A and B are shown apart, each in its own frame.
Chain A
Amino acid sequence: GNSVTQMEGPVTLSEEAFLTINCTYTATGYPSLFWYVQYPGEGLQLLLKATKADDKGSNKGFEATYRKETTSFHLEKGSVQVSDSAVYFCAREMKTSYDKVIFGPGTSLSVIP
């Protein structure tokens, strides 16, 4: 099939803790992969992306590496801040006539001081 699976949470961490949000996908071939973030009261915005195997996407201290062996794209950050509290969506490309994006269910993160 063509799907994206991620841990649903909610995840609660203390400030400066290490963050991992797992994401795996099913696909034929090697689709581009994305992480989107949705801050409270806002729409989604692209956080980072990787377009081929072994690529590492990074932005705002977040990183994710495209692992084709494990079909995974886990999101990590070494030291989270209260301002990172948001919902995080893993997503993958699906080649159609209009290049569709398939989103995972989202993982809610709360960072407490």
Chain B
Amino acid sequence: DVKVTQSSRYLVKRTGEKVFLECVQDMDHENMFWYRQDPGLGLRLIYFSYDVKMKEKGDIPEGYSVSREKKERFSLILESASTNQTSMYLCASRQGTGITYEQYFGPGTRLTVT
């Protein structure tokens, strides 16, 4: 079974803090994704990585950066957290590029910025 794990289920941070959200997958998948999930908006793609050290901006990259130094790990970084970044963050991985490959999701990190 594919397993995607995220470092925290719940996180509370203060405005202006630097925040790291970690995601690890154990199936040697090439592609990894970070989404945020907000009520009424569904999932919106923040960043995508198609290989180690390779990344592409998604639909809402502003205020976020990412790091992929190893194939199994994809980190989302909030350089200076703001209250409008309070949300549920979901990580996903996929074997390769192509719609025939299913995305596998982690359980999510609920981040609150106060």
Q: Are chains A and B native binding partners rather than an unrelated pairing?
A: yes
Interface residues of A (CB under 8 A from B): 4, 8, 32, 41-46, 51, 89, 93, 97-101, 103-106
Interface string of B77-114 (1 = CB under 8 A from A): 00000000000001010000111001111111000000
Number of residues on chain B facing chain A (CB within 8 A): 25
Q: Is B90 a contact partner of A43 (Cβ separation < 8 A)?
A: yes
Q: Which residue from B39, B45, B90 sits with its C-beta under 8 Å from A44?
A: B90
User: Which residues from chain A contact B102 at a C-beta distance below 8 Å?
Assistant: 46
A contact face: mostly helix, strand, loop, or mixed: loop
Instruction: Using CB atoms, name the residue of chain A closest to B98.
Output: A99
Q: Is A98 a contact partner of B43 (Cβ separation < 8 A)?
A: no
B48 at the interface (CB under 8 A from A): yes
Q: Is A99 a contact partner of B41 (Cβ separation < 8 A)?
A: no
Instruction: Using CB atoms, name the residue of chain A closest to B37.
Output: A106
Q: Is A8 a contact partner of B99 (Cβ separation < 8 A)?
A: no
Cα A73 to Cα B71 with chains together (Å): 35
Q: Is B42 a contact partner of A43 (Cβ separation < 8 A)?
A: no
Q: Which residue from A45, A93, A97 sits with its C-beta under 8 Å from B99?
A: A93
Cα A45 to Cα B7 with chains together (Å): 19
Cα A104 to Cα B43 with chains together (Å): 7
Task: Report the minimal beta-carbon distance from A107 to chain B, rounded to whole angstroms.
Answer: 10
Q: Is B40 a contact partner of A8 (Cβ separation < 8 A)?
A: yes
B50 at the interface (CB under 8 A from A): yes
Q: Is B99 a contact partner of A32 (Cβ separation < 8 A)?
A: yes
Instruction: Using CB atoms, name the residue of chain A closest to B106.
Output: A43
Query: Among residues 8 to 65 in chain B, which have CB atoms less than 8 Å away from a CB atom of chain A?
Result: 31, 39-45, 48, 50, 56, 58
